[in-house]
Structure 1
Amino acid sequence: MRLSAPVYQLKRRARLLSRREKVPLHEALDRMAAKEGFASWSLLAAKAAEATPADSLLERLLPGDMVLVAARPGQGKTLMSLELAVAAMKQGNRAVFFTLEYMHADILNRFRDIGADPADFDHLFEFDNSYAISAAYIIEALRSAPRGTLAVIDYLQLLDQKRDNPELMVQIRALRSFARERGLVLVFISQVDRAFDPARKPFPDMGDIRLPNPLDLSLFDKACFLNKGEIRFQAT
């Protein structure tokens, strides 16, 4: 199924339409669905839920993998990472979301944006927005995590913003070794450099990852790049 935009963007448009034209949200959602060729929003949502890009990406991941989810702002990289977490939890695995950006309520709202009910995953999902987040902190927090746990780190470029944290390269190497040893999947949300020009190429790539500090990107196994509702997977 190919939509003109990701489901969360269509839902956002419906909310704006509802406010602008003062119509019930369910009517605005149905209008969005009609534009996509569906008789109702519920049919569109059901079809979209059958196979999400996150499901496809998860199938490619192995225990121990280090993964980048990268895009310019507003392209859905946080939601894509949460969709990955939901896909992992649907398979019975734990998921942890480490963030230096969001509050817990923000992430619960993002779950709803992707059509997931946080209550369904209460026993599998953990949220952590400690100011102390770094490689050492993540390793300690995941020390007893079972094999197959998927952890999202939001985001890569913030890991070494504190002067008392090791260099980014040192931290990523430590996390890579830990992920391999414990059989965990670590997903890093990443910024893309402002110089990326979508008029010149449709997707960013590894050369467009914003690196304020030196980092060997071959330490990552796979990458997912997003732009204008489209997604490209890449082995690094």
Structure 2
Amino acid sequence: MRLSAPIYHLKRKAKRLSREASIPLHDALDRIAATEGFSAWSMLAAKAAAVTPANKLFPQFRPGDLVLVGARPGQGKTLMSLELAVEAMKSGHRAAFFSLEYTQRDVLDRLRAIGAEPAQFDKLFEVDCSDAISADYVVKQMASAPRGTFVVIDYLQLLDQRRENPDLTVQVRALKSFARDKGLIVIFISQIDRSYDPAVKPCPDLSDVRLPNPLDLKLFDKTCFINNAEVQFRAAG
């Protein structure tokens, strides 16, 4: 069965329904699922997860890769990153999600929204929402992480928001070196500049990445840009 809209649009619709009807979000999600022909949101999410682009993207990543996932707000970049983390865990690897944007509850709710129950991954999934997140912090926390661990940083532009942190380029270089030395896959979720016009090109690219501070984008080995359910994946070179 084909969904009437991408799952992140359906989830947004459910949130709106929850507010307007004053019902719990899980009830609103189930109602939206019913309109799509499913008895519960968990079944809809499982169906969507089975056909997600993450299934095809994950095998293209290699230990040591530094990856940028970018999109405008509401286009599914966080869900895509979590779907990739789920693929990693299904393969037996650990995954860690560092967020300066969301709470742990927010992250776990989004994990459930894509049909993944946190408990099913036991100790494979770690969420860290510390205000102290920086390159040095991630390196310290992941010092004993095994090869193949999938690390998501949410998000790129917030890494140097604290004056005491090094410049963004310094932090990204440090994480690139760390990823290669340890054999980790590091994903940076990235904002896209408001000047991006989908009428001009279907997906944003590196030229559209919002950079309040300078950063050499050639540091990224691979990129994944999303807009209106279209996904464009590219490897450097």
Show the counterpart of 2:229. Answer: 229
Match of 1:171 in 2: 171
For 1:18 and 1:132, locate their aligned partners in 2 and report how far apart those are by CA, in whole Å: 33
Gaps of 5+ in 2: none
SS of corresponding position for 2:96: strand
Find the aligned partners of 1:57 and 1:72 in 2 and give their Cα distance: 20
For 1:153 and 1:83, the matched residues in 2 are separated by 14
SS of residue paired to 1:5: coil
Cα gap change, 1:44 to 1:132, in 2 (>3 Å): closer
Q: Distance in 1 between matches of 2:114 and 2:69?
A: 17
Which residue of the partner structure matches residue 159 of structure 1?
159
RMSD between superposed Cα atoms in Å = 2.4
Structure 1 residue 212: deviation in Å? Answer: 0.9
User: What TM-score comes out, normalization by structure 2 length?
Assistant: 0.88
- Compared with structure 1, are the counterparts of its residues 201 and 124 closer, same or farther at alpha carbon in structure 2 (3 Å cutoff)? same
Closer, same or farther: CA 227–138 of 1 in aligned 2, 3 Å: same
- More displaced stretch, 140-149 vs 42-51: 42-51
Q: Contact 2:222/2:235 (CA < 8 Å) preserved in 1?
A: yes
CA contact (8 A) 1:108 1:118 kept: yes
Q: Determine the C-alpha separation between the residues in 2 that align with 1:32 and 1:50.
A: 16
The reply to whether residue 9 of structure 1 matches residue 9 of structure 2 is yes
Residue in 2 aligned with 1:29? 33
**Pairing of 1:74-223 with structure 2 (within 5 A):** 74-223=74-223
Count residues with an aligned counterpart: 232
Unaligned runs of 5+ in 1: none
TM-score, reference length from structure 1: 0.88
Residue in structure 1 matched with residue 71 of structure 2 by the alignment: 71
Distance 1:105 1:43, change over 3 A: closer
Q: CA deviation at 1:13?
A: 3.1
Match of 1:52 in 2: 52
Q: How far does residue 230 in structure 1 lie from its aligned partner after superposition?
A: 1.8
Q: Percent identity?
A: 62
Q: How much has 1:9 moved relative to structure 2?
A: 2.4
